Structure 1
Amino acid sequence: MLKRISKDVKKLEAANKGQVKAFNHILDIAYGRKGKLRWEIMKPLLTDPAVALPPKVIPAVEKSRPPVYSPELRALLASAKSRKTRPLALRTLTRPPKLPAEADIKSDEARLFGPFSKRREVNIRWRYFTEEWKKIRPPTQTLVREISSGRAREIVDSETIHGLGIRSVGFQGQGVYEDVGRLVGASSTALPLPRKGRHVERDGDLLNRAADPGRHKSRWVRRRYQSLLSRLPLLVYTRSSGSYSVELSPLASLPHPGPQCYPNANSVDLAWHGLEFLVQTKKLPTS
């Protein structure tokens, strides 16, 4: 016990000294990416009370029932945004890759080699279920998306979601997911300006970019939380289709980000890049 406490204290000290690996470890523990909290988030998703129990593989053995993949778990297993490894094909949930062909009594292999052991079939199904759900990053919460009259309405309140007959997960309605986004701050695609140009007026607005009150002042800390957002998948339930999908925050830092579209340069941008004179003399097209 003392050895474990000493190890945790060293982790905290390393995180406070700015070690990225230690800081990420602390965040993963706090937000349920590791440890006991991770299990508490995932446990409700490993069953589906809305469906009947599957039939027993071995009629005399109650524990021989195959695992149940809830709709939430299916979405998490099939999405790269919530997986530490490659996403699964949904067909593997009904027939694990390691289950041999002779497990199907109607197959040619079963006729040739004889029926496959039912006990081994149960073990293979449960082993595959356990191995794969442990590769999932637990969802932070469920977001219900309603689209009516061309407008999208997003609901995260736990009581409202429960009233719609949808299960809440993770830190549902506690504002944890939103707080992490505020710490990172709104992303901007505007080109960075020199320090002297930050108080220059652009299109009638002052360029003194006042920081968001919730945005953390330290760039290093913001980057750590950006990385955390890439490990905080969001379960999205679309009411019109009745299906789940997985999304990540647009503020998350991804290992291979896509191309960004920067805004068109205006007079201030051109001035700081030494091109305004060329535009005025019509040597450089403005469109």
Structure 2
Amino acid sequence: MALRVYRDLLRQAGYLPHPYLQAFVKGKARDYFRRHRNSPKPAKQIENAKKELRRLQKVNNGSQFAFMRLLRQAFGRIGRMKWELLKPHFATVPERDPIIPKVESSRPPTYTPTLLALVSSSISKSTDRVIPTKDILNPLPARADPASDEARLLGPLSLRRQKNMHRRFFLEQTRRVYPPLEVLRSPSSTEASTPIPQTGLETLSPIAMLHSLSLPAAPISRPSRSDDTDRPLEEPEYAVISAARKMRVHGRSKRWLRRRYRELLGQIPKIVVEDSTTTGEQERKSTKQKKREDRTPEAKETTITDSSRKVSVQWSSKLALNLSYTPPLRTITHKELAWIQKATELTASNPAASRRKK
């Protein structure tokens, strides 16, 4: 029974529209069956495997909800992989003093610059609420201040409650954060002066892969048999469709598949780390460039600056479904260019005829 379910999982994984998704599901199924090989309750484990099989069947039958759930799992938006991607951004050594004296477990959570930038940005969170940095570091009510009116009327806030509030707020915000797949270093900064956390996916270039999958394939002009000059001036890269691009979800169009990848790109932030010693002229240039690149009012970056580096959260791609996008135009052919030039020359030589047509 278990072997049949395992084979069905591998078969359904082979129908997925991208090699990365196929490898992710196959590896997940392989690890699951190896982990529960000697389980004392095999019936329960087989039932869970059947549930996963039904989800894969829904994906291959064209269910949008099931397909987006699989994409979020495969790229670390939900599930165990999300916390593995967030782990490099957590502080390994506590830097804040304990709230309760001589009790080490009462230390408030420490926010690294990258984690603080992710929590304080609306780009990298599942909610649009933007929380100021001062409220993140100190989420306590006014009663926590002994000199406040609330503390005088209701009494001081318990130190244990303050510790629990810090912990709950930290867990709540980290659950809402989308971890970045890549952490980039600005060209002006060096590796020694600006250390960055590594996610382990830098060699795979997942953002570039999703960007290419989200591009619409432009129509390719075929050369005419009678005229060898009827060729495009240059063949764009996005017109070359790989074998992975030709794979589709049953009952769904290629446009639907591209929009799902663009929807996923809207949940993947990008972190850029640079030296905080940037000159004023460079900052003004970068600000102007960002204003030109922003497509919508929602595409606002969040920047956190400390003593050694500056961390900014940006959109991972301009193809994210949250942003407006103008697809590239088709490349003009030599024959079409000749017709346009001829029409321009005729209009310039006989302006009266062009006025009569109008």
TM-score (norm 2): 0.61
- Equivalent residues of 1:142, 1:237 under 8 A apart: yes
Mapped partners of 2:273, 2:136: distance in 1: 21
Q: 1:269-280 maps to which residues of 2 (within 5 A)?
A: none
Aligned match of 2:199: 169
In the alignment, which of 64, 69, 76 is matched to residue 25 of structure 1?
69
Aligned match of 1:88: 131
Aligned match of 2:257: 221
Aligned match of 1:140: 181
Q: Which runs of 5+ in 2 are unaligned?
A: 1-44, 225-229, 249-253, 279-308
- Equivalent residues of 1:182, 1:215 under 8 A apart: no
Q: Which runs of 5+ in 1 are unaligned?
A: 149-159
In the alignment, which of 118, 126, 145 is matched to residue 104 of structure 1?
145
Mapped partners of 1:37, 1:259: distance in 2: 30
Aligned match of 1:253: 320
- Equivalent residues of 1:142, 1:234 under 8 A apart: yes
In the alignment, which of 257, 267, 271 is matched to residue 235 of structure 1?
271
What is the one-letter code of the residue matched to 1:113? L
Quick one: percent identity of the two aligned structures?
31
Which structure's CA Rg is the greater one?
2
Aligned match of 1:122: 163
- Equivalent residues of 1:199, 1:207 under 8 A apart: no
* Post-superposition offset of 1:34: 1.5
What is the one-letter code of the residue matched to 1:244? V
Return closer, same or farther for 1:37/1:162 CA change in 2, 3 Å cut-off: farther
CA-to-partner distance for each residue in 1:21-70, whole Å, 9 max, x for gaps? 11111111111111111111112323254xx5211111142211111111
**Do structure 1's residue 47 and structure 2's residue 47 form an aligned pair?**
no
Mapped partners of 2:52, 2:325: distance in 1: 40
* Post-superposition offset of 1:132: 0.9
Structure with bigger helix share is 2
* Post-superposition offset of 1:254: 1.9
Return closer, same or farther for 1:21/1:59 CA change in 2, 3 Å cut-off: same
Q: Say which is worse superposed, 223-232 or 166-175, in terms of deviation.
A: 166-175
Aligned match of 1:153: none
CA-to-partner distance for each residue in 1:71-100, whole Å, 9 max, x for gaps? 11111112221110023221211221xx32
* Post-superposition offset of 1:142: 0.4
What is the one-letter code of the residue matched to 2:199? V
What is the one-letter code of the residue matched to 1:122? K
Mapped partners of 1:112, 1:77: distance in 2: 33
CA-to-partner distance for each residue in 1:154-177, whole Å, 9 max, x for gaps? xxxxxx958953221252333233
- Equivalent residues of 1:48, 1:69 under 8 A apart: no
In the alignment, which of 80, 97, 105 is matched to residue 36 of structure 1?
80
3-state secondary structure, aligned to 1:243: strand
Q: Say which is worse superposed, 16-25 or 241-250, in terms of deviation.
A: 241-250
What is the one-letter code of the residue matched to 1:76? L
Mapped partners of 1:261, 1:221: distance in 2: 16
Mapped partners of 1:207, 1:252: distance in 2: 17
Q: CA RMSD in A?
A: 3.7
